[in-house]
Chains A and B, each alone.
Chain A
Amino acid sequence: MLSNLTPQLFFGQMLIGLINGSFYAMLSMGLAIIFGLMNVVNFAHGVQYMLGAFVAWLLLNMLGINYWGALVIAPIVVACLGLVMERLVLKPLQNLDHLYSLLATYSVALIVEGIVRQQYGSTGLPYQLPISGGINLGFMFMPWYRLWVVVFSLVTCLGTWLLIEHTKLGAYLRAANENPAIVESFGINVPRMVTLTYAFGVGLAALSGVLAAPIYQVSPSMGSSIMIVIFAVVVIGGMGSIIGAVATGYLLGLAEALTKVFYPQGANMVIFVVMILALVLRPRGIFTSSEAAR
Chain B
Amino acid sequence: MTRWPMLLALLAVALVAPTVVYPVLLMTVLSFIVFACSFNLLLGYAGLLCFGHAMFFGGAAYVTGWFLKTTGASIEIGILVGGLSAAALGLLVGLVAVKRSGIQFAMITFAISQFVYFVLLQAPFTGGEDGLQRIPRTALLGVVDVSKSGSLYYVVLGFTVLAVLFFYRVVHSPFGEILKAIRDNEARVESLGFRPERFKLIAFVISAGMAGVAGGLKAVAFQIATLTDVSWTVSGEVILMTLLGGLGTLAGPMVGAVIIIGLNDFLSQFGEWSLISQGVIMLVVIIFLRRGVVGEIDAFLRRKKVAPAR
Contact = CB atoms under 8 A, between A and B. Distances in A.
A181 interface: no
Contacts of A269: 115, 118-119
Interface residues of A, number: 42
Contact of B232 (A89, A92, A117, A228): A228
B283 A294 contact: no
A104 B284 CA distance: 9
Interface in A108-141: 108-111, 113-115, 117-118
Interface string A167-180: 00000000000000
B115 A103 contact: no
Most buried by B among A100, A114, A235, A239: A114
A41 interface: yes
A93 interface: yes
Given A41-B107, A276-B112, A114 B273 contact: yes
A159 interface: no
Contact of B282 (A39, A103, A113): A103
Interface string A96-109: 11111011101111
Contacts of A279: 96-97, 108
11 contacts: A41-B103, A41-B107, A99-B106, A103-B49, A115-B276, A117-B271, A231-B110, A273-B115, A275-B108, A276-B112, A279-B96
Contacts of A224: 232
B282 A106 contact: yes
A89 B287 contact: yes
B280 interface: yes
B127 interface: no
Interface of A: 39, 41, 89, 92-93, 96-100, 102-104, 106-111, 113-115, 117-118, 224, 228, 231-232, 234-235, 239, 265, 268-269, 272-273, 275-276, 279-280, 283, 294
B277 to A, nearest CB: 8
B99 A99 contact: no
Given A235-B107, A239-B104, A111 B283 contact: yes
Contact of A118 (B102, B119, B272): B272
Contact of B103 (A92, A239, A268, A276): A239
Nearest to A99: B49
Contacts of B74: none
B102 A99 contact: yes
Contact of A98 (B99, B102, B280): B102
A93 B111 contact: no
DSSP class of B's interface residues: helix, strand, loop or mixed?
A: helix
A105 to B, nearest CB: 10
Contacts of B282: 103-104, 106-107, 110
Interface in B101-149: 101-104, 106-108, 110-112, 114-115, 118-119, 122
Listed from nearest, the 3 A-B pairs whose CB atoms lie closest are: A110-B279, A272-B115, A114-B276
B100 interface: yes
B69 interface: no
B115 A104 contact: no
A99 B119 CA distance: 28
Contact of B104 (A106, A118, A235, A280): A235
A92 B279 contact: no
A99 B243 CA distance: 12
Interface in B228-283: 232, 236, 239, 243, 271-273, 275-276, 278-280, 282-283
Contact of A275 (B49, B99, B111, B239): B111
A93 B286 contact: yes
Contacts of A294: 100-101, 104
Contact of B243 (A103, A108, A283): A103
